[in-house]
Amino acid sequence: MSSHAARSTTSHLGLLIARLVLGVIFLLHGYQKVVQWGFPAVTESFAGMGAPMPEITGPVVAVLELVGGALLILGLLTRVAGVLLAIDMVGAVVLVHAQNGVFVDAGGWELVGALGAGAIALAAAGPGRFALDALGGGSRRRRSAVRSSATAEA
């Protein structure tokens, strides 16, 4: 195996691990909000934190974290899920955590910052080879390369 191929496999494994870890964290946070607390409690919690339109933002964030986490785990719509989850975390920092400093034990932004950074990194890098998103991507890239070659030859 060439060093380029090994690096490529290592990068794809790194993306898989990042997707799985971030996905599980987001999924479980969403599960907690949707299943354990329920929408009325989530709405009340968001209202207490000063979130705008808590009757909408609370349930939307809960479902986003649940579904977005599952999408990251599967590597499906990874870039879209990554962007939406990163926006979710920016909202959490701005509305709740920034005034508490950095450290999570004081209610700070370190956890939501790390989750948001990871989500935006996945949105930028994509899901990697070991993802449902990658199943159709290879054939699209090959078709595009064939079209480009045909155009160049014409």
Q: What mean pLDDT comes out for the span 52-63? A: 97
Q: Tokens 């934190």 appear where?
A: 49
Q: Tokens 């599980």 appear where?
A: 24
Cα atoms found within 13 Å of the Cα of residue 114, Cβ hemisphere only: 12
pLDDT > 90: percent of the chain? 83
pTM: 0.84
Whether residue 83 has pLDDT greater than 80 = yes
Mean model confidence pLDDT for the chain: 89
The whole-angstrom separation of Cα 129 and Cα 131 is 6
Neighbours of 137 (CB within 10 A): 14
* Residue 139 CA to its chain's centroid (Å): 25
Quick: pLDDT tens for 88-122.
999 999 999 999 999 999 999 999 999 999 999 99
Q: What is the pLDDT of residue 22?
A: 98
Phi-psi region of 128 (alpha: psi -120 to 50; beta: other; left: phi over 0): left
Q: What is the pLDDT of residue 136?
A: 78
Are the C-beta atoms of residues 97 and 114 closer than 8 Å to each other? no
Quick: pLDDT tens for 6-17.
669 999 999 999
Neighbours of 103 (CB within 10 A): 11
Q: What is the pLDDT of residue 142?
A: 42
Whether residue 78 has pLDDT greater than 90 = yes
